[in-house]
Structure 1
Amino acid sequence: MTQPMSDVDITRSPFRQIESEFDVCVVGGGMAGLCAAIASARHGARTVLVQDRPVLGGNASSEIRMWICGAHGRNVKETGILEEIQLENCYRNSGLNYSVWDSVLYEKAFYCPNLTLMLNTTCCGGQRQGDKLASITAWQLTSQTWHTIHARVFIDCSGDSVLAPISGADTRWGREARSEFDEDIQPAQADRKTMGNTLLLQLREVDEPVAFTPPVWAYRFRSPADLPHRGVESGGSNFWWLELGGLADTVHDAPRIAHELMKIGYGVWDYMKNHMPTRDRMAHWTLEWMGSLPGKRENRRYIGLHTLTQNDIRDGGRFSDIIAYGGWSMDDHHPAGLIYPGKPTIFHPAPSPYGIPYRSLVSRNVTNLLCAGRNISTTHAALSSTRVMATCSLIGQAAGTAAALCVQHQFDPAELYPGRVGELQQQLMEDDLWLPGLERAPHALTQSATLSVQGDGTDMLRGGHDRPLSQDQRCWSGPLGQPIETHLVRSQTDRQPAAGGRQQSEPRQAHALQLPAQGQPLRGSPDDASQSSGAGSSWPILGDDRPVGQQLSTLDSTARAGTHRWIAHHSPGELGQCGGQPHEH
């Protein structure tokens, strides 16, 4: 067990000190932390989001610019708060500008009711009372203020598990021995090796040839043999393989790792521009941006009530307490990174989707501490899949929703399992977060509405399965681009109070999506949803009670693999057109 550190003594500090109290405190404003904080606040918990950087998004932000990856395959697109953010980004950010992306994330947090956002605020210490974390101490750089934050539930979304040494929570680091969990992709002996950090760069094509002179301290690469298996000679790369640090300590050695990565980054661009055999094709390309803050993949992970393993993933993650899902392969980067002369990663197969249990989010020895993101309770092997940001976003939304339920019912996160995990699961599905294998409880309006659809199988309108899997389609689908019609479905009247306390009857209504005769009804969702352009993609039938006059429409996008078409509620003239492709980070 890690011993908790004593609190930072700020009593004699000359700087301002502010003490505050919240229901939920989320530390870390990456995609997991952002989704956790929004979910907690939306469910009524007074929430604070503490982020040590000036922008939100973590590895997806403009500071690092890693792309958001998630589950492979059809019908497994991540929804919920993450998709809500991505749709907003598509609508506002047709130029794929990272500053605009930053503003989308900022807006979601800053203007969210019940949510207090603290940027440039670093968690430095805390106080533990018994088996609980009582408060944290944080330094806000720009206002030169010490903050003492008390909360009933804490969620660590820092990636580096910064609350673990403060609270004394149990953690693990590195690769487990193959025998510990019977994982065949692990080494024979346990070690502290991890996947490394990456510093990204971006290029831009210009009209005129552009020269490049590297700094004298950049590394020199002169032949393809200097960069084997990295695909540089193709002239196109996303540079994820600019990786180092797995043989060191990706937390405490981070400054040294960043310096080495910068030397490598400028050296790689010098090679591409001036030395590689196909350098002529790079004449009109210039270095648009070089990162200064590396993105991290792995270090300290919590030990929870359940440790997710390679075998859990391969078996499909069939957990009774599923609260999120993954579907990225077990993408295990070599600890040596660019130093390693072989292939930089091994993609071990993983089913898509597989379930992630609530118990992997709950600290096993700090009773009011949850975690979300790449620091949840997994082995190294399982982490190589769960660490991608779309998966982390789902986990974050689940953690924030769970924290709000704990506040509402006045119990600790560990007490939510097993008795109330069903309530959490239903709430997540109601909030548009799909959980494979579970059936969402249909809305009462859906059960009482009169159906108006073409064809057979209308029972699917009343079902709670939101997506097709395997041979059991549980949906209608049609070709992308077919025109969509809306059908008003009236239910039994609801008795509503009128002026003077009398009851009056008002018809409630629902919309169903329907294609013309040559197609079949498309699936929709109560909130804005994107439909993958892959063949056979579909979304759930919509049933809701929005005001009369709202319509369903499509926002056009180019039909190519990897793009999306949007289905949205709006009043006439409310929405414009999306002039570009979704921002994929």
Structure 2
Amino acid sequence: MTGFDGRCDAIFLGHDDTPPPNGAGEEARAWRRALRGLPENPIDGGEFDLIVVGGGVTGSAAALTAARLGSRVALIQNRAVLGGNASVEIGINPQGVRGPLVDELAQRDDTGDLRARDLLEAEANATVFVEHTVYDLVAEGNRIVSVDARDARSGRETRFRAPMFIDCTGTAILGLMSGARTLFGHESKSEYGEKLAPDDHIDEHHGHTVFFRTRTADTAVDFPDVPWAIEVAQDYANLNGQLVEPGKDNGPGPVAGPDKVPDPSIRRRMLFPASHFWEYGQKLDPYTEGENIRDHLLCAIIGTYANVRELEPENYANLELDWLGYVAGQGEFRRYLGDYVMTETDIRDHTEFPDAVVMNAGPFCLHYGGHDKYDFRLRDWRWVERDGQPYTVPFRCLYSADIDNLMMAGKHISVTHIAGSTTKLMGNGGQHAIATAAASVLCKKHGTTPRGVYESHLDELRELISEFTDNVPQPLAPKSPISTESEASA
């Protein structure tokens, strides 16, 4: 379909014209299980104190924290490596508030991979299940009882049980499966009174990005004609925004032809060689169109590379694609609705939350897709530093308003799109993860829910969090009582 690479889940060879089931529903799953000789029902994967779904920086931090606090934790990750957008497959450096635990797991080895998996496998209380995709769950009332995950290599399906769950997928997948309410898109000004919000609600999101790197070989490099890629890239010939190495992006790249002279109408900030300027899919469903988004970006990069070589063969005959990511850096999905929705105004005004449990930092980083000519490039980018100071995140943003034993950490916590453009930073997500992992320990200790921890155990929660981060907000001092007369006059 692309003219270059082809992928499919399976090849079906049959003796008649009866088509195989089409789709990802139970009928298709049952069909696959029968043909592969797999059990009809998921096998028992055991019971844990806590299950963390999603093995990015956030999920790794949650699992490591919980294990070190003595909980038996299962970390379920759909990729072969840990780290998510920071992994060796993608390579972004975690930003925001990091702290000692995130610094520890985000160190890289000689291959560029994170230390996260080594650290978790050294913990007797932690069990890591890589290449396992959660595809279903069992719920009873407002509680999740278990999750079902499929091994990508064997197709074997396993059921994992626990009294507490933390969703660190960035996609709010456990919420969608359990019926928890979520938020999506760009909220309007009237919804939360945010200064940077659009006048009307927009059902769009931050898109995905594919990372790449070029190099100059010692001799000329052959490359085939790629008309299917040129169709997407058009005449674009600017390879800025490269991943220099895992953990270091926004690198410069070769530019050829007219793109060497920037259009004077382009804002100066948009000329920065940012890796995330290669972004697509803002108007597409990120849950069902992920492969199409990734393939479109692959075409854009390959076509741009071909254009640079074609326009200046005397300069770029030796130019080759050194590395091209086949896993896209994920953008924005749905966000959970918690007991509180944090907003741009809260962050700007440094709202004093009684349940502030962690510090986050970073600018509002807003991406606007829909370039007039190149749909794989951002139309605009806003980077708003505010006052440059860290801000607090309330615990009520870290658990679902609807599911009693479900917490969340990372880009899909209970925030607006504007607020989420800063809380989504991976270092920040690591702080959410530490807080939720600590809360899971208190839920077990006191036989309560995350909401119960908010209502009765905040001081104890902050104390546990302080073992893993230097950025724990202090509880608010009680305000001096005022007389009824003063109150009335106020």
TM-score, length-scaled by structure 1: 0.66
Contact 1:169–1:363 at 8 Å: present in 2 too? Answer: yes
Please state how far the C-alpha of 1:335 moved relative to its aligned partner. Answer: 3.4
Mapped contact 2:210–2:328 kept (Cα < 8 A):
yes
Q: Which has the higher helix share?
A: 2
Indicate yes or no: 2:352 matched with 1:318. Answer: yes
Measured at CA, do residues 324 and 269 of structure 1 come closer, stay the same or move farther in structure 2, by a change above 3 Å? farther
From 178, 182, 193, give the equivalent of 1:182: 193
**C-alpha deviations, 1:169-220, integer Å up to 9, x for none?**
1101111111111012111111211111111112235555656556332133
Deviation at 1:267, TM superposition (A): 2.1
Does 2:43 match 1:18? yes
> Which residue is 1:79 aligned to?
99
**Letter matched to residue 301 of structure 2:** G
Deviation of 1:372 (Å): 0.6
Which structure 2 segments of 5+ residues have no match? 1-24, 237-257, 477-490
**Could you say which residue in structure 2 is the equivalent of 1:327?**
361
Whole-angstrom distance in 2 between the partners of 1:165 and 1:412? 20
Identity of aligned residues (%): 28
Measured in 1, the distance between the counterparts of 2:462 and 2:427 equals 18
SS in structure 2 opposite 1:289? strand
Give the 3-state SS of the residue equivalent to 2:358 in structure 1.
strand
Q: 5 Å matches for 1:400-549?
A: 400-436=437-473
2:297 matched residue in structure 1: 261
Instruction: Note if 1:241 corresponds to 2:280.
Output: no
In angstroms, what is the RMSD of aligned CA positions? 3.1
Q: Deviations over 1:309-330 (max 9, x none)?
A: 0001101243222222222111
Q: Is the 8 A contact 1:374 1:392 kept in 2?
A: yes
The one-letter amino acid of 1:336's match is G
Deviations 1:349-378 (A, max 9, x none): 334211111110110010100011101001
Are 1:200 and 2:211 matched, yes or no?
Answer: yes
Q: Shift of the alpha carbon at 1:164? A: 1.3
- Measured in 2, the distance between the counterparts of 1:404 and 1:265 equals 46
2:66 is aligned to 40
Matched position secondary structure for 1:418: helix
- State the distance in 1 between where 2:453 and 2:67 align: 19
Code of the residue aligned with 1:297 in structure 2: it is G
Aligned to 1:65: 91
8 Å Cα contact 1:126/1:135 also seen in 2: yes
Question: What is the identity, as a one-letter code, of the residue corresponding to 1:54?
Answer: A
Instruction: Give the deviation of 1:297 after TM superposition.
Output: 1.7
Stretches of 4+ aligned residues off by more than 4 angstroms:
5-13, 205-214, 225-234, 279-285, 340-343, 436-439
CA contact (8 A) 1:310 1:382 kept: yes
How many residues are matched?
A: 417
TM-score, normalised by the number of residues in structure 2: 0.78
CA contact (8 A) 2:369 2:375 kept: no
Q: 1:31 matched to which residue of 2? A: 57
Instruction: Specify the alignment match of 2:14 in structure 1.
Output: none
Could you list the runs of 5+ residues in structure 1 that have no partner in the other structure? 72-77, 440-585
Over alpha carbons, which structure has the higher Rg?
1
Matches of 1:364 and 1:398, distance apart in 2: 17
Query: What's 1:297 paired with?
Result: 331
Alignment partners' CA distance in 1, 2:169 and 2:385: 28
What amino acid is aligned across from residue 38 of structure 2 in structure 1?
A: F
Residues 209 and 424 (structure 1), Cα distance of their counterparts in 2 relative to 1, 3 Å cut:
farther
2:5 corresponds to? none
AA aligned opposite 2:401: R
8 Å contact kept, 2:277–2:378: no
Amino acid at match of 2:235: F
